[in-house]
Amino acid sequence: MTDLVAIARSLFVSGKGLLAVDESVHTATTRLAEYGIPTGTEMRRQYRDLFIGTEGIEQYLSGVILFSESLAEKGNDKKLFPKSLAVRGIAPGVKVDLGTEPFPSSPQELITNGLIGLAERLEEYKKQGAVFTKWRAVFRIDGDTLPSSQALHENAKRLASYAKEAQTAGLVPIIEPEILMEGKHSRTRARTVIEETLNIVFSVLEEHSVDRAGIILKTSMALSGSESRKKDTPEEVAEDTISALMKSVPRQIAGIVFLSGGQTPDQATENLAAIISRAKESNAPWPLTFSYARALQEEALALWKGKEENIQSARLAFLSRLAKVSSALR
């Protein structure tokens, strides 16, 4: 377990964070279509190579989360993506859940699948070069009724089962209980749900004998719902986010990474800077960094449009955003 703890902690190098390019086939297809980019296996490979193949990303990234198909894909440099990352000192990771489906006892909520056959898949991912993994659970806020206790506990059990399997396989688990930004809820309600969700998750992790020191938490920020018309200031987001985490996250975990879901690149950058500042003021016990997908990709994809002649300008935009997000950590 010592090696897992060391690997987990190595992802929290000063000024560096994680890039998520772990979109499923469906999500990647939808994402590319938003920018008028043709879809298919080869275009998904080019999309990932746009980011992984950018020179200089090792200045800002300690790890990259891949989708499973990408572990066997090669970049334009003819190197397998995991190898291309590893030689630059960037840890390759992989999303291991198999997506969500409606929760039977509460169909408006979601449950994450992927435990069947997980041990065998983890063994294969490790052979392909992955050193860490990620499992995402999704929770929607609707007034005081959602998320339901049943959905919280069932998703927490699956997160814990995954984390235990990953550690047994010698891979670092990143647990991601995401609180969706969609909805009319207040920031205060988001803070409460984050706190309640994480208290349940860590209680269930304890029941499953998961080693806290060898896990990473990927969490949402406390944000008002996207339909609430409330514009949170970075300081408000930071105050409520750190407050929720201080009341729910054990100090022993390897660290916390933030997701950017629903935020613009600028919002995700400014909110992260305020959270880092607030964490320092509060003497937060864990290292913090980013694990962004869309907030790091958006500007580059808008320039690239799937065309070879736009790769250089798109990569420059990607590096520029990476530099801004990295600066937010200081």
pLDDT tens by residue, 209-218: 999 999 999 9
pLDDT at 81 > cutoff 90: yes
Q: What is the pLDDT of residue 26?
A: 93
pLDDT of residue 286: 98
Kindly state the tokens that stand for 285.
């016990």
Q: When comparing pLDDT for 147 and 229, which is higher?
A: 147
pLDDT above 70: residue 205: yes
pLDDT digits (tens, 9 = 90+) for 209-260: 999 999 999 999 999 999 998 999 999 999 999 999 999 999 999 999 999 9
Active site residues: 176, 218
pLDDT of residue 94: 98
CA distance 25 to 313: 26
CA distances from 124 to 99, 109, 166 (A): 19, 31, 12
- 270-299 tens-digit pLDDT: 999 999 999 999 999 999 999 999 999 999
Strand, coil or helix: 91: strand
Position 269 pLDDT exceeds 80: yes
Long-range contacts of 145-150 (CB under 8 A, 24+ apart): 146/106, 146/108, 146/109, 147/109, 147/193, 147/197, 148/106, 148/109, 150/103, 150/105, 150/106
Contact 97, 117 (CB under 8 A): no
Domains: count for the chain:
1
Residue 135 has pLDDT above 90, yes or no: yes
- What's the pLDDT at 1? 58
Instruction: Give the percent of the chain with pLDDT over 90.
Output: 97
| CATH number of the domain encompassing residue 11 | 3.20.20.70
CB 204 within 8 A of CB 161: no
Whole-number Cα distances in Å, 27 to 98, 99, 163: 12, 10, 24
What is residue 298's predicted lDDT score, i.e. its pLDDT?
96
Task: State residue 34's pLDDT score.
Answer: 92
Q: Give the residue from 20, 47, 298 showing the smallest Cα distance to 174.
A: 20
Closest among 122, 127, 54 to 85, alpha carbons compared: 54
Average pLDDT, the chain: 97
Question: Do 247 and 211 form a contact (C-beta atoms < 8 A)?
Answer: no
- The one-letter amino acid code at 142 reads D
Instruction: With a cut of 80, say whether residue 101 has pLDDT above it.
Output: yes
DSSP tag of 84: H
Whether 2 shows a pLDDT value over 80: the answer reads: no
DSSP three-state, residue 79: coil
* Domain extent at residue 50: 2-328
pLDDT of amino acid 229:
86
Residue 80 has pLDDT above 90, yes or no: yes
Q: What is the pLDDT of residues 4-37, one digit of tens each?
A: 999 999 999 999 999 999 999 999 999 999 999 9
Give the model's pLDDT for residue 116. 98
Average pLDDT of the segment spanning 73-78: 97
Query: Does an H or E element contain 43, and which?
Result: helix 41-52
